[in-house]
Amino acid sequence: MSFRRPKIAIIGAGHTGATVALMVAQKQIGDIVLIDLPDFENAAKGKALDILQAGPIERFNVQVTATSKYQEIAHADIVVITAGIARKPGMTRQDLIHTNAAIIRTVSEQIKRYAPTSYIIVLSNPVDAMTYVCLETTGFPKNRVMGQSGVLDTARFNTFIAQALQLAVEDISSFVLGGHGDEMVPLVRYTYVGGIPLEKLMPQAQIEQLVERTRKGGGEIVALLGNGSAYYAPAAAIVQMIEAIVKDQRKVMPIITYLQGEYQVDNACIGVPVVLGGAGIESVIELHLNEEEQQAFNHSVHQVYQTLAYIK
C-alpha cells in the first residue's frame, strides 16, 4: 500500500518561513520544501538541514528540503507565501505595497504553473491586499486562497487579556476582524473568559487600552526588535491554518478571505470568521455587528480598498 504524506511548500526561507517549517516538522503535518531566491539557496538549504537534524531529538520523521527551483513545489497540497520585504521601524504597511505586490505576482504565477491544485496561505504584507493579488493572479477558487491575519491578531488580543487578568490564556476566546493593520476590529462584545463576557471582568477603560495595544501589536514588536518584524507568533498562526486544512478540522477562525457581499463588502479580501477545513474556506460566518462595530469594520475595509486602488 502506497502512502504520500501531505506536502507543504514554503516560499521564502527567512525567519518566518523557517519557523513555519520547524513547527510543521515538529507536528509531523507533512513533508516540507523551502523555496528561496538563488542568492539565498544555500542559506535555505542550511536551515532545512538544521531542521532535519532536529528530528532525532524532537522525534519527528518528515522530509525537509530547500531549493531555488519552483518545479520542486509540484504536487504541493499547501503553499505558504512569506516572501517579501519586512516592515522596518517607522515604515507603514502601505510602504511595502509596490515591492511586495510585484513579488506576490511572480510567486503566484509560479504556483499556478507548478502547484495548480494547492491551497495558498499568504502572509506577506500588506496581507489583505497581497491575498487579493494572489487570488487575482492565480485565478484559483476563493476557497483555496486565504491570508493570515485574524488568527495572529486574535492571539495577541487573547495574550494581553490573559496577562491583564492573570488567567490562563486558553480560557480567552475572542475575534479580531477587518484589515490587518491599525484599523483592525477586536470584537469586545464577542470576547469571553471561560464563557464569561470580558466586560463583566474588566473596566471599559482597560479594555480599550488592550484593544489599542492589539491594533499596534505588530508595530510594538518591530520597534523592540529594531531590525525585522515578528515571526514566532505569525508562524504559529500559519501552522494552525495548515493543520486545520490537512486534518480537515473544520475550525472556526478569523482569516482573510474574498468577500462577495458578506459583511456588506464586495470584491475585497478581508479578515472575517470562517470555517476552515479539508476544502479550505468552507463557509463565511456572518456575525451580527452593532452600529459602532459596523462603523469600525467599514473604516478598516475602506483602508483595504484604498490599498487595492493604489495597486491597481
- Supply the pLDDT for residue 241: 98
pLDDT in tens, 215-256: 999 989 989 998 888 999 999 999 999 999 999 999 999 999
* Residue type at position 173: S
Q: Are 244 and 268 in contact (CB under 8 A)?
A: no
Smallest Cα–Cα separation from 215: which of 192, 254, 186, 237?
186
How sure is the predictor about 1, in pLDDT bands with cuts at 50, 70 and 90? low
Residue in 15, 180, 299, 302 annotated catalytic = 180
- For residues 258-277, one letter each, b for 16 or more C-beta atoms within 10 angstroms of the residue's C-beta and e for the rest, the string is bbeebbebeebbbbbbbbbb
Given phi > 0 = left and psi -120 to 50 = alpha, else beta, which region is 280? Answer: left
pLDDT in tens, 254-270: 999 999 999 999 999 99
Map out the domains of the chain with their CATH numbers: 7-147 (3.40.50.720), 150-311 (3.90.110.10)
pLDDT in tens, 35-93: 999 999 999 999 999 999 999 999 999 999 999 999 999 999 999 999 987 666 666 65
Could you tell me the pTM of the whole model? 0.95
- Supply the pLDDT for residue 87: 61
pLDDT in tens, 175-189: 899 988 888 999 999
Q: Where are the alpha helices (DSSP H) in 203-290?
A: 204-215, 217-225, 232-246
d(CA 44, CA 184): 33
57: which 3 cell numbers? 531529538
Q: Is 75 a catalytic residue?
A: no
Residue 97 pLDDT more than 90?
no
Kind of pairing between the strands at 266-277 and 251-260: antiparallel
Percent pLDDT > 90 in the chain is: 85
How sure is the predictor about 3, in pLDDT bands with cuts at 50, 70 and 90? confident
* Residue type at position 69: K
Q: At what angle do helices 204-215 and 150-165 cross, to 10 degrees?
A: 140
Report how far apart, in Å, the C-alpha atoms of 121 and of each of 165, 219, 242, 282, 292 are: 33, 22, 8, 15, 31
